[in-house]
Amino acid sequence: MNDENKKLKPGLYIISLPIGNSKDITIRAIDYLQSVDEIYCEDTRVTNKILSIYKIKKSLKNYHDHNGQKVRPQIIRKIKDGKAIALVSDAGTPLISDPGYKLVSDLKARELYVTAAPGVSSPITALTLSGLPTNNFYFLGFLPNKDQSRKNLIEGIKNLKTTIIIFESANKINKTLQDLIDILGNREIAICREMTKKFEEIITGKIIDIAQKIVPKKLKGEIVIVLYGDNKKDQEINLDEIINSFEGEYGPSELAKIISDQTGFSKSIIYNKIIKLKEDD
């Protein structure tokens, strides 16, 4: 590892930290943390915990959503004055669902040095553990708190063919799962929590089945949801088979409700499919 007094090139050093297991940190990340002049972080208490494990003592300052506009000019000035500044998040890779990109953009506009010590990232870790397609994916981040805004955003990803990654808090997971069922249908999903920790849990299956298993009061912290992309062809084939299996036992409206309750597909979509199948006959 580097000597703690080694002088780094003035600039911003974006450093990934562990998402749970303190051993998931790179040698270069430790080198940079030892050698920078200051470290900017979301929560000094959280960052101090990981620094103490590696016996690193550095000046810590806050950089987050609420003070970013005020702090960015200070960081830029320090770098111009010859300082090496580290940027870390509470866990994982900075700039993933945090305000760091604005700082990088400002530094790039001034042609100041920016580099990274890459490492663990919870979206990528969840994706690799999900068992869902990994060749293409879309990272959505946190959903809006307001009901209608959240539903509008989910509606906007309805036709995406790629695997979708979402951040959610434990206390809102059931509400989010219900919105996903109502808008997207009963897709394959993975719920990833406590990743890299002792009690790591990856729950996979259909949304309805998983929603029935999850008890919010038993979950803590942030959860990563990995969601199968849109596949209308598969849904149509499945709906055809399900509808035909009832062989005229119920009227269209009643049957649509029964199948909607069982599958999570939209009642109106099922109803229209029932009518179309009758017309085709």
109 or 251: which leads in pLDDT:
109
Over residues 166-201, the pLDDT tens digits come to: 999 998 998 999 999 989 988 999 999 999 999 899
Residue 151 shares a structural domain with residue 212: yes
pLDDT for residue 216: 57
Q: Which of 187, 212, 227 is the last residue of a domain?
A: 227
For residue 211, the number of C-alpha atoms closer than 13 Å in the C-beta half-sphere is 21
36 or 220: which leads in pLDDT:
36
Q: Which of 120, 146, 161 is the last residue of a domain?
A: 120
Is the model's pLDDT at 5 over the cut of 60? no
Listed in sequence order, the residues at least 6 apart from 100 whose beta carbon sits closer than 8 Å to its beta carbon are 14, 63, 87, 89, 94
Residue 186 shares a structural domain with residue 87: no
Is the model's pLDDT at 129 over the cut of 60? yes
Kindly state whether residue 141 falls inside one of the protein's structural domains.
yes
| CB neighbourhood size of 31 (10 A) | 19
Q: pTM, whole model, 2 decimals? A: 0.78
User: Which CATH number covers residue 163?
Assistant: 3.30.950.10
126 or 253: which leads in pLDDT:
126
User: Which CATH number covers residue 106?
Assistant: 3.40.1010.10
Kindly state whether residue 111 falls inside one of the protein's structural domains.
yes
Residues 34 and 56 sit within 8 Å (Cβ to Cβ): yes
Is the model's pLDDT at 213 over the cut of 70? yes
Is the model's pLDDT at 29 over the cut of 90? yes
Kindly state whether residue 2 falls inside one of the protein's structural domains.
no
* Percent of residues, the chain, with pLDDT higher than 70: 91
Confidence of residue 96 (pLDDT cuts 50, 70, 90): confident
Residue 111 shares a structural domain with residue 135: no
Residue 108 shares a structural domain with residue 20: yes
Is the model's pLDDT at 1 over the cut of 90? no
215 or 49: which leads in pLDDT:
49
Kindly state whether residue 106 falls inside one of the protein's structural domains.
yes
* Residue numbers of the domain that contains 260: 232-280
Mean pLDDT, the chain, rounded, equals 89
Kindly state whether residue 204 falls inside one of the protein's structural domains.
yes
Kindly state whether residue 25 falls inside one of the protein's structural domains.
yes
Span 259-275, average pLDDT: 76
pLDDT for residue 113: 98
Residues 223 and 166 sit within 8 Å (Cβ to Cβ): no
How many domains are there within the chain? 3
pLDDT for residue 164: 97
Residue 173 shares a structural domain with residue 132: yes
Residue 109 shares a structural domain with residue 44: yes
Q: To 10 degrees, what angle do helices 100-109 and 68-80 make?
A: 40
Kindly state whether residue 3 falls inside one of the protein's structural domains.
no
Q: Helix/strand/coil (H, E, C) string of the chain?
A: CCCCCCCCCCEEEEECECCCCCCCCCHHHHHHHHHCCEEEECCHHHHHHHHHHCCCCCEEEECCCCCHHHHHHHHHHHHHCCCEEEECCCCECCCCCCCHHHHHHHHHHCCCCEEEECCCCHHHHHHHHHCCCCCCEEEEEECCCCHHHHHHHHHHCCCCCCEEEEEEEHHHHHHHHHHHHHHHCCCEEEEEECCCCCCCEEEEEEHHHHHHHCCHHHCCCEEEEEECCCCHHHHHHHHHHHHHHHCCCCCHHHHHHHHHHHHCCCHHHHHHHHHHHHHHC
Kindly state whether residue 51 falls inside one of the protein's structural domains.
yes
- Which amino acid type is present at position 43? D
* Percent of residues, the chain, with pLDDT higher than 90: 63
Q: Which of 104, 120, 136 is the last residue of a domain?
A: 120
Over residues 223-252, the pLDDT tens digits come to: 999 999 987 655 554 677 788 888 778 888
Q: Are strands 222-227 and 201-206 parallel, antiparallel or unpaired?
A: unpaired
pLDDT for residue 73: 97
pLDDT for residue 106: 96
Residue 113 shares a structural domain with residue 187: no
Structure-token pair, residue 165: 């990654």
Is the model's pLDDT at 92 over the cut of 60? yes
For residue 230, the number of C-alpha atoms closer than 13 Å in the C-beta half-sphere is 12
Residue 167 shares a structural domain with residue 239: no
Is the model's pLDDT at 36 over the cut of 60? yes
Over residues 40-70, the pLDDT tens digits come to: 999 999 999 999 999 999 999 999 888 989 9
